Structure 1
Amino acid sequence: MMGIYEFAVLGSITPEQRQSLINSIQQMASEFELELDNQVIIYDAETVKQRNRSSAFAAVYFGGLPQVDIEAAHSIFTESVPIIPVVNSLEQFSICIPKFLQPTNGYCLNGQDPEIKELATLMMECVGLLRRQRRIFVSYRRTESRDAALQIHDLLMRKGFDVFLDTHDIRPGEPFQDVLWHKLCDSDVLIMLDTPTYFESRWTREEIGRARAKEIHVLRVVWPNHEPNKMADLSETIYLENEDLENDSGPLTIGKIDEISLKIESIRSRSIAARYMSITGRLRADVERIGARFEGVGAHRAIAIRLIDDRKLWLYPVVGIPTAETLNDIAIKARSNPDKGVPVLVYDDIGIRKTWSDHLQWLDENIKSVRGLKITQAAWSLAGWEY
């Protein structure tokens, strides 16, 4: 059986670790309506030779002594596909990881992550199910939680997240609200610092409302002795105790920051999956509305449709705000598709700054290897499609 997305788990991994990792991959894949052992295949050292070379693929290698599965790992390495070295501690890296893998940046298992969700997330990024940018938006009242917001910004940035904080990330002279909404639309998760007067501000109310309008998932961090507003009841929630804060406005204890970081990893995959499924659902409805046909999903989540004049298009829905790099990525993926045709990037344009929309329009007019399609205009544009 060959899948759309394939993984290999190699090396000195315990049966318990393997099962935890597989469970996390299965849970994340299900959010995209992908089934394990059907669209998603997981190999070991004995079966990885059977993998489908046209499928999106990534591997992990668990270091240990003695080193095992060397032949399978080296074969994958020589094919220039992603393989992540994994160790229990960084001190073990040089002795537990084969020399040919040592130039590759590794991953150190997190003792606070028994479900191995962080590693599963990295594997999902390698095959393109999750985007590599890990974008977080912090929504807060400056009068109540500024110190905690600054701390979250700095510490999550060190953990590899791209964190937006209004006081840090809007340059002088830029239109404040336009940039803020643009950054929100490109975020995976909104962290809401739920303090007593959070909903008294028009701006924070708009931030939480527009995050929901874009189907961006929310992590609510509730201040001690505060009765949270029911408007945020559907959010994932972390409750703070008095001892979790050094002062009323923060900073938080490092333990709580680590808890927030792990929770974000779990929420992020669901958030991206929800937005992706929303775009594909709207796209399918629009395709059928104009009499075209939805023919199925191929590698890299490309959607095949047949227009009423029998032309076939491959549509690539993306979450967040497209860039020239996104176009290049889709062009590369399309080259591996044996059924040739001009690939079409599909994105949600609501909330994107006008200057960036103009930039995307210029790219669409001048880079013909990939076309652009706004999901808000999908039916209208596809009914009169020219290329």
Structure 2
Amino acid sequence: MSLYELAILGAATPDDRATLTATIAEMVGEFGLALNDEVIVHDGTSIFGRDKHTAFAAVYFGGTEQTDLEAARELVLSSAPVIPSVGLNADFNSTIPDFLQPANGFVRGTGDPAMSELAAAMLECVGLLRQQRRVFVSYRRVESRAAAVQLHDLLTARGFDVFLDTHDIRPGDPFQDVLWHRLVDSDVMVMLDTPSYFDSRWTRQEIGRARAKEIQVLRVIWPEHKPNKLTDLAETIYLETEDLEGSDGPIRETMAETIVLRVERLRSLSIAARYMSITGKLRADVQKIGASVEAIGAHRAIAVRLLDDRRIWAYPIVGIPTAEVFNDVANKARRADQREIPVVVYDHLGIRDTWVAHLNWLDEHIRAVRAIKVSEAGWTLAAWEG
């Protein structure tokens, strides 16, 4: 039984379809999902047999000859998400059907031959990847400030919410509390590895805590710098002298684009790793108290059978839960006709105390969703009152 269904429609060539499908297969595989089993990719013919109760998203490739119009129109009428996509320099209005033009389009760039960005957008639509796109830039101001600011602006322009200490902490805020809060809510850390990076205890703590939270690290190594062995496991890009316009940056355009694209690909790997970690901790705690995990459902929900034989649905959340997340989980549980109140499961480590208090308040006053810390899952579920 499929948990997620996708569709590739329109003027996609056989090579386009094969490339995008292969990238989707790789990304969903990171969540332990298999193509043609838990995840199905439709074309313009099989789309009419899709399961309308399953999380779904489609991409429509624009072209001079518009095809799959009936299928695309049916999806729009049923309020299913369809991403209109065009190639670089293509005319959106003449290649995309008029009934799809109100949706924000996606431009496929030549710098992304694997279509990682488009695949990620589709997986965001079905809820496998969270829609928040967050990056943390770790650097030494004395050595790489210009490059850090450049990447902040470039990633922001590509739809990421980027944390840079000089830009994103308001005057009067507790600096380190805010910094750790933003770190644990990030999908990827971009580490600008310069000669004195590990001379600062703050940057040492940033890289250590990112790895402790299983956040993927993209290490960008400065020219002629021998990197510290502590970061051997990080994804790595080596800069040459000609890749920098000055000693602290900015980075030349072609290499900067390579960094941005690598961040996009690492993001899905990071979210998958953190989701699997929370799921594993939850499963272990459930088994400790004699309860059991029965199944994995749509939207990564986990069915847990308690000792009194009640079944609850737990939703592991990567990053920091918000009221918007609570609302999203409540809607997903209602659409899935789950009888018990859904339970948000999250890792509280690194979240500001004021935000944890806010989550406790939400848990007490919003009865459509409950929330528990994964480190306390067994303790809490052993005395679950629903």
TM-score relative to the length of structure 2: 0.99
> Is structure 2 residue 69 aligned with structure 1 residue 103?
no
- For residues 136-176 of structure 1, what are the alpha-carbon distances to aligned partners after superposition, in whole Å with 9 as ceiling and x for unaligned? 00000011111111111111111111100001000000000
What is the CA-CA distance between 1:349 and the residue it aligns to?
Answer: 0.3
Alignment partners' CA distance in 1, 2:379 and 2:241: 55
Kept in 1: contact 2:144–2:194 (CA 8 A):
yes
Sequence identity percentage? 60
Residue of structure 1 in register with 2:298 after alignment: 299
> Is structure 2 residue 318 aligned with structure 1 residue 322?
no
Alignment partners' CA distance in 2, 1:10 and 1:119: 13
Residue of structure 2 in register with 1:251 after alignment: 250
What is the CA-CA distance between 1:90 and the residue it aligns to?
Answer: 5.0
What is the CA-CA distance between 1:89 and the residue it aligns to?
Answer: 3.0
Kept in 1: contact 2:135–2:162 (CA 8 A):
yes
- For residues 51-103 of structure 1, what are the alpha-carbon distances to aligned partners after superposition, in whole Å with 9 as ceiling and x for unaligned? 11111000000011211110000001111111000111354211110000011
> Is structure 2 residue 84 aligned with structure 1 residue 85?
yes
Alignment partners' CA distance in 1, 2:177 and 2:11: 50
Q: Equivalent residues in 2 for 1:240-319 (5 A)? A: 240-319=239-318
- For residues 289-335 of structure 1, what are the alpha-carbon distances to aligned partners after superposition, in whole Å with 9 as ceiling and x for unaligned? 10001101111111001100111100000100000000000000001
Give the SS at the match of 1:209.
helix
Give the SS at the match of 1:246.
coil
Alignment partners' CA distance in 1, 2:338 and 2:209: 39
Give ranges in structure 1 of 5+ residues lacking alignment.
none
Residue of structure 2 in register with 1:213 after alignment: 212
Alignment partners' CA distance in 2, 1:292 and 1:93: 54
Letter in 2 for 1:202: R
Residue of structure 1 in register with 2:38 after alignment: 39
What is the CA-CA distance between 1:343 and the residue it aligns to?
Answer: 0.2
Alignment partners' CA distance in 1, 2:281 and 2:355: 23
Q: Equivalent residues in 2 for 1:191-206 (5 A)? A: 191-206=190-205
> Is structure 2 residue 344 aligned with structure 1 residue 345?
yes
What is the CA-CA distance between 1:109 and the residue it aligns to?
Answer: 0.8
- For residues 222-243 of structure 1, what are the alpha-carbon distances to aligned partners after superposition, in whole Å with 9 as ceiling and x for unaligned? 0001011111111101110111
Over the aligned positions, Cα root-mean-square deviation in angstroms equals 0.8
Residue of structure 2 in register with 1:227 after alignment: 226
Letter in 2 for 1:159: R
Residue of structure 2 in register with 1:160 after alignment: 159
Letter in 1 for 2:327: N
Letter in 2 for 1:319: V
Residue of structure 1 in register with 2:363 after alignment: 364
Residue of structure 2 in register with 1:171 after alignment: 170
Alignment partners' CA distance in 2, 1:227 and 1:33: 36
- For residues 323-366 of structure 1, what are the alpha-carbon distances to aligned partners after superposition, in whole Å with 9 as ceiling and x for unaligned? 00000000000011133211000000000000000000000000
Give the SS at the match of 1:345.
strand
What is the CA-CA distance between 1:49 and the residue it aligns to?
Answer: 1.1
Give the SS at the match of 1:340.
coil
Letter in 2 for 1:225: E
TM-score relative to the length of structure 1: 0.99
Alignment partners' CA distance in 1, 2:72 and 2:217: 39
Alignment partners' CA distance in 1, 2:63 and 2:144: 44
Residue of structure 1 in register with 2:150 after alignment: 151
Residue of structure 2 in register with 1:119 after alignment: 118
- For residues 9-34 of structure 1, what are the alpha-carbon distances to aligned partners after superposition, in whole Å with 9 as ceiling and x for unaligned? 10000111100000000000000000
Give the SS at the match of 1:136.
strand
Residue of structure 2 in register with 1:334 after alignment: 333
Give the SS at the match of 1:191.
strand
Kept in 1: contact 2:222–2:238 (CA 8 A):
yes
Alignment partners' CA distance in 2, 1:380 and 1:105: 45
Letter in 2 for 1:9: I
Aligned pair count reads 386
Deviates more, 1:265-274 or 1:331-340: 331-340
CA pair 90-329 structure 1, distance change in 2 beyond 3 A: farther
Letter in 2 for 1:154: D
Give ranges in structure 2 of 5+ residues lacking alignment.
none
Residue of structure 1 in register with 2:180 after alignment: 181
Misfit runs of 4+, over 2 Å: none
> Is structure 2 residue 56 aligned with structure 1 residue 30?
no
Residue of structure 2 in register with 1:383 after alignment: 382
Alignment partners' CA distance in 2, 1:219 and 1:89: 27
Letter in 2 for 1:195: T
Alignment partners' CA distance in 2, 1:216 and 1:303: 22
Alignment partners' CA distance in 2, 1:301 and 1:84: 22
Give the SS at the match of 2:91.
helix
Alignment partners' CA distance in 2, 1:240 and 1:53: 48
Deviates more, 1:83-92 or 1:218-227: 83-92
Letter in 2 for 1:325: E
Kept in 1: contact 2:88–2:109 (CA 8 A):
no
